[in-house]
Structure 1
Amino acid sequence: MSVRTARRVEHATQLPSQRAAARDWRTRPNPFADVWDSEIVPLLRSVAKLKAITLLRKLQEDHPDRFPDSMRRTLERHIGRWRALEGPGKEVFFPQTYQPGIRGLSDFTHMDKLGVTIGGAAFPHMLYHFVLAFSRWEYANVVEGAGSFTALAAGLQNALWQAGGCPREHRSDSLSAAFRNLQEEQDFTTRYNALLVHYGMEGTRNNRGLGHENGSVESSHRYLKDQIDQALELRGYREFADRAGYDEFVRGVVMRRNRRNAAAFNVEREYLRDLPEHRATDFTEEEARVTRSGTFIVLGVLYSAPSRLIGHRMKIRLYSDRLDCYLSGALVHSMARGVRVCGGRLGHVLDYRHFIDSLKRKPQAWRGLVFRDELFPREAYRRIWEQLDARLTPRDACKAMVGLLELAAHHGVEAILADRLDALLLAGELPDLDQLRHEFAPRQAQCPDVVIEMPSVAIYDTLLDEVLA
């Protein structure tokens, strides 16, 4: 309260409720009086979403030098009053009462704005998020790429088995990110319905474009992402050594959130239905042949395989985070799942270890290799190649680079060798391959010569005499 107001209250002879009503007359003419009914109201009735600034700009175009920008707030008050008295009705949001064990909700949310990096590279990803409506118990796991059926099936089943039971109803949005065409949508619907039948749940979904109908999980997205962001701020950096480290970090944030809802979850857990005896299928199957270059393509992503599989056609099971390759029913290869690149280009998931033995025999193939830039295991190897290529002959540069990769692959020194290469780059020096081999992969010392003296046969005669005696 200001000093002036305090003096006025102190010297007043009446209570505020006893004073005369505030004035109801205008102190200046209405600047929109002559255009309100003829121009503004018809536009508001025809297009309900028009904003005051849009109408002000139109008035400025139709009536130059008459309606300055300072009139914006006045026009907003006029429009707000008209919409309250004569405007269209607004949508009503109905708060819901949830019963324990009735509804679980799933959704995907983008996490790119958090700026998480893995191994020094940006990590674009989504989060699968499951919430029990009554207790607000949550489950979340990291998903690379878009939300697919495999990501939904894996995430939903992980959540149910972690919760220890199934709600009666599973609610989601339209999940349009899970398919790209009508045929894929039909296949998704069939497999999704089979998944719900397996767990005895009824599937429901909100109307397309009305995310608030899935509000129990939609509203939790913001709070979960905000807490992950705050945990990253507290951590001090957003870099992770590998995907497993980031998964564990997100899992820790979710567990801390669930501790607050532990009492309600203990109540709801008693109402959850029993789980089936086993999980349902959470993968899709594809086939691919390994080419002469030791690679195969699945859903727009180029993968590498051990050279012994060249020429074989494999059955491939695609999970949300990996793919398993089978040959004649036996698991022969497994690796992380890749993501298709926008613009029609192939994504790449290539392991330099699959090519190093062949490159050792033909090191000059390194320079012109189509997917050479995808084979560097760490940024230090890429930078050292740039220096080798600039300062050595093409032949020596390729031999040195292949030698470094061989050392990293065959002797398990990829990380510490990368640190050494960073130090050499900082000092402006090139690596000495022989010295590095001696340091990180010393050869086994030669075995000493052992001389065995054969005993005389006569000794056995003496031994025999003692036995007979």
Structure 2
Amino acid sequence: MPGKLIETYQVRVYMNARELGLTQAEAAYVAQFSERSGQRIESGDYQPNRGKVRAWRTSADPLAEVWESELEPMLRAQPKLKPMTLFEYLQTKYPGKYPQVLRTLQRRVATWKALHGSAPEVMFELRHEPGRLGFSDFTELKGIEITLNGQPFEHLIYHYRLGYSGWQYAQIIQGGESFIALSEGLQNALFACGGAPKQHRTDSLSAAYRNLGGVRNKPLTRLYDDLCHHYRMQPTRNNTSIAHENGSIESPHGHLKNRIEQALLLRGSYEFSSIAEYQALINQAVDRLNAQHTEKIEAEKAYLQPLPQGRVADYEILTARVSCHSTIDVRCVLYTVPARLIGRQLELHLYHDRIVEYLHRQQVVELPRIRTSGTGKRRARCINYRHVAEGLRRKPRAFLYCTWQQDLLPNEQWQHLWQQMKTQFDLDTAAVLMVESLYIAAADDKESQVAEY
């Protein structure tokens, strides 16, 4: 029996029951609907079709001729087809016949995909327990050019976050993603927080394992596993190219970078005199974010594991012999070292931002780490006149023909002085004057004062 006839029959049964003297509740029970429906019937407000889906159209279907015969089969074959693609197909095959069906197509395709298309991936809301999980990742400030002393500063930001409380740590990283950058950043974060979570989550680490250089004796994943084992953390990784699996750090990236950008705008400049000054600005942004969760952070710290006394080495170890030119070659970069080390075999500890050199376990020099940059540029130099100033003083004419002549001059001011000397004196005299000036600047550590004089 059709639904409308059933409702009419139920109403008639209800009214007959009322005429027999039954109460509203009893008559509604006999008619098999609610007492509230009986009240509406007697008040004249009863609508038998209320809540039913309208099954009829109020206008003709503009796609009736092509939907089932052409468009729907196309969607079944290629579910990724978009409404605009189908609209352009109709315009090409039936010129002028379907001029205003784009909105209809969009609704029809959306409905079809909801009923017959593939289900999108479900994002499950996760419950974080205090002290259980910490996250690490690298990020960059896109659209912002930070400069140090007028020069563009290429860098990333290492970002660590506790899953439960949201405590954060951020550190400037030079040279791109690398395992030593991850190792240094993570250990600094753990010691800044005062404890280690039970698990540590990062991305697939494919980028972080680049540029390992001398480390060839261990499988790549062992490095990360050993690092986590030292702090009694279970190492976990999300799948490659699936960022939402690391969502507890990916999403806070945006909040952190927004804070940094706003601090830069308030400061009125992207120029810094040192990395330490730039890091201080980032620290302030992180502190403000952490201040929003003070209670949860203090509660989570009680659940963190105590830290071991020592750290895992967050550097690579190489060896190099100092040449007769007072130089060493590291990763396609030529570095000068103090001349007294000529002929010595040095042990090099490569950090992401510096190289520390040891002779028989004694630190002898620390150098800034330089990387090649620019298209097609495979080699670079890091020349410090202080390392060879005494040797140049003995052989001032060597300055005239030295391959590193421009690199020996500390800055543009000194380069300008050299150009002036060459015009005012003969070359030999100019060389003696310049070399003597460099020697005094190195010996007395008064580079700018000597240049001004």
User: TM-score, normalising length from structure 1?
Assistant: 0.74
Give 2:140's aligned amino acid: H
Query: Where does residue 149 of structure 1 map in the other structure?
Result: 179
Q: What CA deviation, in whole Å up to 9, does each residue of 1:59-100 have, x standing for no partner?
A: 6666778788x8765544443233222221100100111010
1:112–1:126 CA contact under 8 A, matched in 2: no
Alignment CA distance shift 1:196-1:399 (3 Å):
same
> 1:156, 1:111 → 2: CA distance?
20
Of 369, 385, 407, the residue aligned with 1:352 is 385
Query: Where does residue 334 of structure 2 map in the other structure?
Result: 302
Alignment CA distance shift 1:181-1:374 (3 Å):
closer
Of 80, 105, 114, the residue aligned with 2:135 is 105
Deviates most, 131-140 or 296-305: 296-305
> 1:294, 1:415 → 2: CA distance?
25
Alignment CA distance shift 1:253-1:23 (3 Å):
same
Are 1:377 and 2:407 an aligned pair? no
Q: What CA deviation, in whole Å up to 9, does each residue of 1:139-161 have, x standing for no partner?
A: 11110012222111111111111
Report the alpha carbon displacement of residue 232 of structure 1 after superposing the two structures with TM. Answer: 0.5
> 1:181, 1:146 → 2: CA distance?
10
> 2:163, 2:407 → 1: CA distance?
44
Partner secondary structure for residue 325 of structure 1: strand
> 2:199, 2:109 → 1: CA distance?
43
> Unpaired runs of 5+ in structure 1?
1-17, 421-435, 437-469
Give 2:156's aligned amino acid: M
Are 1:273 and 2:305 an aligned pair? yes
Of 334, 350, 355, the residue aligned with 1:323 is 355
Alignment CA distance shift 1:233-1:89 (3 Å):
same
Alignment CA distance shift 1:52-1:184 (3 Å):
farther
Alignment CA distance shift 1:311-1:59 (3 Å):
farther
> 1:410, 1:56 → 2: CA distance?
78
Report the alpha carbon displacement of residue 218 of structure 1 after superposing the two structures with TM. Answer: 0.8
> 1:417, 1:163 → 2: CA distance?
46
Alignment CA distance shift 1:162-1:58 (3 Å):
same
Of 201, 205, 229, the residue aligned with 1:175 is 205
Query: Where does residue 86 of structure 1 map in the other structure?
Result: 116
Q: What CA deviation, in whole Å up to 9, does each residue of 1:193-239 have, x standing for no partner?
A: 11111111101111111111011111111111111111011001011
Query: Where does residue 442 of structure 2 map in the other structure?
Result: 409
1:119–1:378 CA contact under 8 A, matched in 2: no
Query: Where does residue 257 of structure 1 map in the other structure?
Result: 289
> 1:176, 1:359 → 2: CA distance?
46
Report the alpha carbon displacement of residue 400 of structure 1 after superposing the two structures with TM. Answer: 6.0
> Unpaired runs of 5+ in structure 2?
1-49
Alignment CA distance shift 1:52-1:132 (3 Å):
same
Partner secondary structure for residue 123 of structure 2: coil
Partner secondary structure for residue 373 of structure 2: coil
Deviates most, 227-236 or 295-304: 295-304
Give 2:143's aligned amino acid: K
Q: What CA deviation, in whole Å up to 9, does each residue of 1:145-203 have, x standing for no partner?
A: 12222111111111111111111001111111122499869543222211111111101
Report the alpha carbon displacement of residue 395 of structure 1 after superposing the two structures with TM. Answer: 5.7
Q: How does 1:70-469 map to 2 (within 5 A)?
A: 75-111=105-141, 113-180=143-210, 187-341=219-373, 343=376, 345-366=378-399, 369-382=402-415, 402=435, 405-406=438-439, 408-415=441-448, 436=453
Structure possessing the higher radius of gyration over alpha carbons: 2
> 1:101, 1:59 → 2: CA distance?
59
Report the alpha carbon displacement of residue 279 of structure 1 after superposing the two structures with TM. Answer: 1.7
Alignment CA distance shift 1:392-1:126 (3 Å):
farther
Alignment CA distance shift 1:226-1:39 (3 Å):
farther
Alignment CA distance shift 1:97-1:361 (3 Å):
same
Alignment CA distance shift 1:24-1:109 (3 Å):
farther
2:146–2:153 CA contact under 8 A, matched in 1: yes
> 1:249, 1:351 → 2: CA distance?
30
2:170–2:283 CA contact under 8 A, matched in 1: yes
Alignment CA distance shift 1:58-1:229 (3 Å):
farther
Report the alpha carbon displacement of residue 386 of structure 1 after superposing the two structures with TM. Answer: 6.2
Give 1:356's aligned amino acid: A
Alignment CA distance shift 1:39-1:398 (3 Å):
farther
Report the alpha carbon displacement of residue 302 of structure 1 after superposing the two structures with TM. Answer: 2.5
Query: Where does residue 3 of structure 1 map in the other structure?
Result: none
> 2:397, 2:108 → 1: CA distance?
77
> 1:221, 1:371 → 2: CA distance?
42
Alignment CA distance shift 1:84-1:347 (3 Å):
farther
Report the alpha carbon displacement of residue 354 of structure 1 after superposing the two structures with TM. Answer: 1.9
1:112–1:125 CA contact under 8 A, matched in 2: no
2:178–2:211 CA contact under 8 A, matched in 1: no
| Aligned alpha-carbon RMSD (Å) | 3.7
Question: What is the aligned length?
Answer: 402
2:171–2:279 CA contact under 8 A, matched in 1: yes
Q: What CA deviation, in whole Å up to 9, does each residue of 1:105-147 have, x standing for no partner?
A: 1111123532111111101101111100000000111100122
Q: What CA deviation, in whole Å up to 9, does each residue of 1:274-321 have, x standing for no partner?
A: 111222222221111222222212233332211111222211111233
Alignment CA distance shift 1:167-1:351 (3 Å):
same
